[in-house]
Structure 1
């Protein structure tokens, strides 16, 4: 059934790709120019499993998963005056996306109230439709924080800026994020000492501090991550549950360099879990990757985040080659969460203005002990991934 649904979705994406418009303007309502955007993604993962069976349904005997990844519908409004708003919903995950109101004091500074992405990950803050790889790096999935409800003030002066945010829980709290669900605050600053046409050097620093709580407000924390495959059922590294957790504090450093059609990007994050009855736990991870636009396009830059433009020649589209190395360490003292390091090679094709095809090959190396006295188990699967995407 899942295969049939995915093939149907892929066919719909292909049929719409040549005719979809960018952003659809609906009407002027109450002085606000209302527009409609969307993003649909269909994914396929094929596993060459080693120790653990990565297939989501281990009972079916298959070595592959096919699934709709996202079905995002977004309404946006500009005006009246310096006001703007957005309301997004993902029908696939049954949750709200950005849902907020913003007021701009001037061209540089604004305040936002509602749900939005928190300021602690360059890759997470980038647009989902322009991800350089099908799965974000382990660093981002493990320690990056996505959307929470709160209030933020941010300023963007072109080559420098920053964000300060205070937040609570997600509007639709139907998942279990690694970084807990309690109240907290976040800070991020960025600086681009080189910022010119097709030339950019970026540095960023972020900090997130929040209560370690589960959806029932119990003091709980757990850090685990999939092996760079969003559909995989297993996490090869896992800290286990800390039932005495107090707070989670994540510090992130980011750097990136763009020269014409080449982009190099890296991030390092450290998360400390303070505990009441046991020693504190610290997790580390980092990634570095490079992307080369074979068709010559470069990247834009706004608010300390890279933007991906349209193909220079719509008839040929934009072709990208990419390679990434990412690693995560969840071992600390008596906690044997494991270590994992992955290589990913990928290709992206942005066809015209609205369609994208991606293929990734992931080579995983992981090791984990059940406890300090247990034998070391190595699990080194390979994964092939494909994605079809329509956006407007």
Structure 2
């Protein structure tokens, strides 16, 4: 169901009525719980210089651009009673629940936490970082394709600001007809350097989950959230006879003063059972990818670090704001198979395994954080992709360029 115009209007008016402060808006103390209100409004514009596929293909208007309200998030938070913190979040644009959970601190000075409800699972440094402070308009391909985001479940965590261990068990997403498949996740982080504005972060994560429908489909947009097609895709029928899927992630981040270097590698493995179909063997299917990115605060603000993720500072001078330059290299490989000769010399070759394609990209961006509530982003993306197309009997290269812009208001 699409959100009504009235729903989006109410969300926007609530945002504009909020005072100009970065922190959440305090509402009241209700039953010993300090209740506050947060929000995020994002509007995106994408211009496509398509190569082979029409990146605006889902809109039959002949245009080479698209614009859309990307997010309209409303979040209520509470501190208390006692050692309990809770949150209820909803995205009116996507018509889905966000974080809806309660977190309990075991003991007054304890570093042990229990969390129940819907929350981001313990994997992916980029996925766990705050959406309002994304370094680029579109998240990396591995984050959108292989990372597990919000699910209903329970988690236990223990650690300090220098290290952490988290274990979770999860089921489906709270909103109906979205992500499903039960599983578990583990993540450990360590910051051997964490003082004086210098941070070195290392992390490893592992997620294992049931495919639920015995099929898995992996695909990725060309680093543009409004693109109507995916240039790499394991196919509309998915990876058949799939039993379970696991994803291992390695992450690293080094921040020194106004500069941050960050990267992640993920490898997914789909465990399969035999069906007797030659083109869908019982062999496991593997996919992997990585990204490396750097961000420089031109105005000198220093990056921070909290709970195993980097934090973005507010502008030192709110009137002129904080300027950032960002550069990212991104790669995703969905190929795990080969072409076998056809039955006759003129027959089409037969795909053994899965040939979902390969995609790499370079993204250059400039961000402007103005005052405490506004952010403006401009990205240029150059994509290089290749995928076997059965109708062409060959690998088809598709190398588009994209210009992306975002306006954001948050409190």
Match of 1:346 in 2: 365
Q: Are 1:190 and 1:205, in contact at CA under 8 Å, matched by a contact in 2?
A: yes
| TM-score, length-scaled by structure 1 | 0.92
Q: How many residues align?
A: 378
State the 1:263 CA deviation.
Answer: 0.2
Q: Does 1:283 align with 2:287?
A: yes
1:37-75 CA deviation, whole Å, 9 max, x = no partner?
000100000000000001154410000110010000000
Whole-Å separation in 2 of the counterparts to 1:281 and 1:22:
45
The worse-fitting range, judged by mean Cα deviation, of 335-344 and 363-372 is 363-372
Which residue of 2 is the match for residue 255 of structure 1? 252
Structure 1 position 272 matched with structure 2 position 276: no
Q: What's the offset of the Cα at 1:243?
A: 2.9
Secondary structure, aligned partner of 2:254: strand
TM-score (ref. length: structure 2): 0.88
Aligned to 1:304: 308
Q: 1:192 matched to which residue of 2? A: 191
Contact in 1 for aligned 2:260/2:296 (Cα 8 Å): yes
- Evaluate the alpha carbon distance shift between residue 71 and residue 362 of structure 1 in structure 2; reply closer, same or farther with a 3 A threshold: same
> Where does 1:287-366 land on structure 2 (aligned, <5 Å)?
287-333=291-337, 334-366=353-385
SS of structure 2 residue aligned to 1:59: coil
Distance 1:12 1:341, change over 3 A: farther
Question: Which of residues 125, 128, 132 is equivalent to 2:131?
Answer: 128
Unaligned 5+ residue runs, structure 2?
Answer: 275-281, 338-352
1:122 CA drift (Å): 0.1
Asked if the contact 1:56/1:231 (under 8 Å) is kept, the reply is no
CA distance in 2, matches of 1:18, 1:292: 29
The change in CA–CA distance for 1:159 and 1:348 in structure 2 (over 3 A counts) is same
**Contact 1:56–1:65 at 8 Å: present in 2 too?**
no
Matches of 2:13 and 2:62, distance apart in 1: 28
User: Does 1:84 pair with 2:103?
Assistant: no
Contact 1:42 1:67 in 2 (8 A): yes
* TM-aligned CA deviation for residue 220 of structure 1: 1.6
Conserved in 2, the CA contact under 8 Å of 1:18 and 1:352? Answer: no
- Cα deviations by residue, 1:125-160 (Å, 9 ceiling, x for unpaired): 000000000000001011111100000011231211
Residues 275-303 of structure 1: per-residue CA shift (max 9 Å, x gap): 11232100010000000000101111111
- Over 3 Å counting, the alpha-carbon distance change for 1:17 and 1:54 in structure 2 is farther
Q: What's the CA shift string for 1:327-363, capped at 9, x where partnerless?
A: 0000002311000000000011010000000000000
Runs of 4+ in 1 over 3 A off after TM superposition: 11-21
Does the 8 Å CA contact 1:13/1:389 hold for their aligned counterparts? no
How far apart, in 2, do the equivalents of 1:20 and 1:68 lie? 23
